[in-house]
């Protein structure tokens, strides 16, 4: 069996991962793990987490942001779960939709891109933005970027955009496998602006805190990647990837200089199973 190789610009794709994914690609033909897991009661239920982000008088034009991460279109994520997640996003009626990367597990095939487009069209919204995750950058990420942009979703790679007067969105490239450059991502953002920082993983937190420390304006860091451990016990996850993720595995963390929200995401990798780490979407009311 020939190990898989990274087909994108993502680094840190190690030989053991190539072997594991080659095995899974053959073993999971027909997406039977996702279909099997979808039959488990409650497996396709998606929780809605609500947050408030206080920016004061800075941005009167933005009311609601909806955020989802780690869709992982592929053989371990049930289609019914993905549809439930996007229906929950649509029900939130967001002004802005943010997507936190890891759209796929294994390859970004044309069929997956058609499915992604159909899911995105379930959510009426004014604007949408995304960053890419490690699994995206190991796949044919250019095909994924094209599919997103074809549905009106702007992909941010160490770049920023104004969401409204006094509110900026800063998108940082994946810290695990990409080329994160927080300083470049903040280039041109007014020091007085409140900031929503969008990154796939919490592991850009040290650099983000350094960039935000001197600003004195509210900041919210939205990310995923950890899956909340994916397979967890009532007292916590068994394993979480990344040094920051192990300290902040999921949920809201009020730090001195910013608020960090680590989403459990929607889909799964390697195994279709989640325990004590329910899928979620996040709704942020800007006030």
Count structural domains, the chain: 1
Domain that holds residue 162: 15-286
Is residue 3 included in any domain, yes or no? Answer: no
Residues in Cβ contact with 166 at an 8 Å cutoff, skipping those fewer than 6 apart: 55, 57, 58, 59, 190, 192, 193, 194
The count of C-alpha atoms lying within 13 angstroms of the C-alpha of 269, restricted to the half-sphere facing its C-beta, is 25
Is residue 9 included in any domain, yes or no? Answer: no
Residues in Cβ contact with 27 at an 8 Å cutoff, skipping those fewer than 6 apart: none
**Stated pTM of the model:** 0.96
| Predicted confidence pLDDT, tens digits, the chain (287 residues) | 677 889 999 999 999 999 999 999 999 999 999 999 999 999 999 999 999 999 877 666 678 999 999 999 999 999 999 999 999 999 999 999 999 999 999 999 999 999 999 999 999 988 999 999 999 999 999 999 999 999 999 999 999 999 988 999 999 999 999 999 999 999 999 999 999 999 999 999 999 999 998 888 999 999 999 999 999 999 999 999 899 999 999 999 999 889 999 999 999 999 999 999 999 999 999 98
> Per the structure block, which two tokens stand in for 121?
């069209």
User: What is the model's pLDDT at position 60?
Assistant: 60
- Identify whether the C-beta of residue 161 lies closer than 8 Å to the C-beta of residue 128: no
Is residue 169 included in any domain, yes or no? Answer: yes
Is residue 265 included in any domain, yes or no? Answer: yes
């Amino acid at each position: 069996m020939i190990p898989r190789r990274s087909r994108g610009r993502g680094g840190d794709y190690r030989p053991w991962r190539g072997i594991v994914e080659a095995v899974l690609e053959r073993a999971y033909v027909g997406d039977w793990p996702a279909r099997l897991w979808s039959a488990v009661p409650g497996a396709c239920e998606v929780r809605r987490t609500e947050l408030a982000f206080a920016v004061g008088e800075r941005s009167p034009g933005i009311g609601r942001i909806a955020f989802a991460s780690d869709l992982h279109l592929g053989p371990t994520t049930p289609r019914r779960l993905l549809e439930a997640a996007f229906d929950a996003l649509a029900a939130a009626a967001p002004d802005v939709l943010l997507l936190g990367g890891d759209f796929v597990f294994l390859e970004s095939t044309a069929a997956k891109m058609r499915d992604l487009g159909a899911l995105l069209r379930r959510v009426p919204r004014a604007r949408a933005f995304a960053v890419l995750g490690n699994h995206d950058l190991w796949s044919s990420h250019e095909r994924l970027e094209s599919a997103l942009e074809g549905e009106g979703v702007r992909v941010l790679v160490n770049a920023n955009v104004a969401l409204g007067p006094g509110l900026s969105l800063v998108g940082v490239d994946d810290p695990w496998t990409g080329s994160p450059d927080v300083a470049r991502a903040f280039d041109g953002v007014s020091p007085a602006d409140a900031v929503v920082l969008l990154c796939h993983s919490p592991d850009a937190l040290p650099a983000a805190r350094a960039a935000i420390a001197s600003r004195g304006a509210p900041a919210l860091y939205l990310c995923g990647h950890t899956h909340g451990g994916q397979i967890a016990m009532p007292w916590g996850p068994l394993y979480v990837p990344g040094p920051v993720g192990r300290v902040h595995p999921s949920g809201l963390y009020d730090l001195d200089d910013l608020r960090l929200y680590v989403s459990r995401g929607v889909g799964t990798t390697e195994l279709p199973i989640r325990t004590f780490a329910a899928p979620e979407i996040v709704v942020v009311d800007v006030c």
